Structure 1
Amino acid sequence: MSTKKKTTQTEAPKAKATKAAKTTSSDGGAKPKKLSALDAAAQVLAENGQAMTCQEMIEAMAAKGYWTSPAGKTPHATLYAAILREITTKAKGSRFSKTDRGKFALAQ
C-alpha cells in the first residue's frame, strides 16, 4: 500500500523587502562610486588619445587608481572580452572601436 502525502497549497511568495536608499551626509563625505573596468578603460583611452592594448589599459588603470583587478589572474583577457561584447551588442552606440589586432580606441 502506498501512502500519499497530502499536499497543501502554498502561500503566494512574499515580495522581497527593498533596500533602503543610502543617505549621504551634507558635508559630502560620501565615497565616490568605483569605476567598472569598462568605464575605467574608456577613461584611460580618452586621456591617452590613441589605441591601446588591453594589457596597456589594465596597467594604466592600476597606475592611475581607476580600477584594479580583484585578484583575477588575467584581467586583460576579461577586459578584452567585455570590450568585444560591448562592440557586438551596442554596434554604433559602443564607446570602443577595434583599430588593429588586439588594439582598441574610443569610437569616433
Structure 2
Amino acid sequence: MFNASHVILYSADAEADRAFIRDVLQFAGVDAGGGWLIFKLPPSEIAVHPTDGPSKHEFYLMCDDIGKTMAQLTANGVTVSEPVNQRWGLLASVTLPSGADLPIYQPLHPTAFDLEG
C-alpha cells in the first residue's frame, strides 16, 4: 500500500539546516524546486507510544555505534550531547545550525527497519 514515508522538520533557519543535512550528515537529496531539498533517509520504522499529554510526533536518527557516530560528528565540528543510557537505547542529540536538537540513538531493542515485506 505505501512505498515510503516523508518526514518534515520545521526550522528557524531551514537553509542552514538543509546545508547541514546535505554537507555534514551527507544525505543524498533532490531539489524539489526553488532550493527546497528533500533528502533520502536510511530505512525507517514507526512506533506508537502512549501519552498522558497531547499527541505529538518525534524524529530520531538511529545508528549502530553511538560512540563512533559521535566521534565522526564531533570531528566535523558538530555539537553533540553526551549519550544517556535509556532502557531502550543510548540517546544523544545533534545541534543543528538553527539551534534545534536532532535526537540520535543506538537502539538496545529489536528493530523493525530491516524486516522483509
TM superposition score category, shorter chain reference:
under 0.3
Larger helix proportion, structure 1 or 2?
1
TM-score by length of 2: 0.24
TM-score by length of 1: 0.25
Report which of the two structures shows the higher radius of gyration computed on alpha carbons: 1
Larger strand proportion, structure 1 or 2?
2
